[in-house]
Amino acid sequence: MNLQQRTHWIFDMDGTLTVAMHDFEDIRRRLDLPVNQPIIEAIAELPPDQAMTKRQQLYEIELDLARQANPQPSAFELLAWLKQQGRQVAVLTRNSRQLALETLQTCHLLHFFDERFILGRESAPPKPSPAGVEQILRQWQISADKAVMVGDYLFDLQAGRQAGTATVYFDVDDSDLWTAEADLRVRSLGELLKFVKHVRNKFL
């Protein structure tokens, strides 16, 4: 099956639809969290009162970043083409849902999405859990073989793969870190657009 036949597209947000801005090591330092541990999971391990404080601090950091967000080059063109072709699109992010809405609005991408299909970390167990992908598939009432998960990080690819979707690794830095977890690797959203428009490949 090729990309042109995939009718439902799930996108990571930060670093995929938007230009990466999060310095996660700096955020860990500011929140006094362990180095090299995912932030959401590190906060979840704290006592409830400390966790609540850290989540509020994290929200304030992320809100500042959301208000400075910029769209990834060709994000508008890719989403516009998918919508013109009758494709359905969704966002699944480890960010909060409210901040996802803020970020997409800042980047002038929000209008491409039905807000029911924008899921944040409160909506389902965060990636790499496949729960968010599976929730979106249920909302769409489709099987996983009709869907694609697109993301720039290992957790995105693991979530899509565990849910049974196709996976596209958006490798903007050409680092080739997680190619083995993906069905396709692209270095720009423009390259992905060319694939879905023109290339009939042996995708899956």
Answer yes or no: do 99 and 74 share one domain: yes
Residue tagged 């596209």 (tokens) = 168
Look at residues 48, 66, 84 and tell me which one is the last residue of a structural domain: 66
For 165, residues 6+ apart whose C-beta sits below 8 A from its C-beta are 10, 133, 137, 144, 145, 147, 148, 149
**d(C-alpha 40, C-alpha 113), whole Å:** 25
Tokens found for residue 134 = 């599976």
Each residue's pLDDT tens digit, 127-157 = 999 999 999 999 999 999 999 999 999 999 9
Mean pLDDT, range 154-177, rounded to an integer: 97
Answer yes or no: do 42 and 121 share one domain: no
Average pLDDT, the chain: 91
Each residue's pLDDT tens digit, 34-53 = 887 888 888 888 999 988 99
Give the other-Cβ count within 10 Å of 157's Cβ. Answer: 28
In a domain, 50, yes or no: yes
Answer yes or no: do 46 and 78 share one domain: no
Residue closest to 159 by CA, chosen among 116, 124, 117, 122: 124
Answer yes or no: do 153 and 179 share one domain: yes
Residue 1 pLDDT > 70: no
Report the domain count for the chain: 2
- pTM, full prediction: 0.86
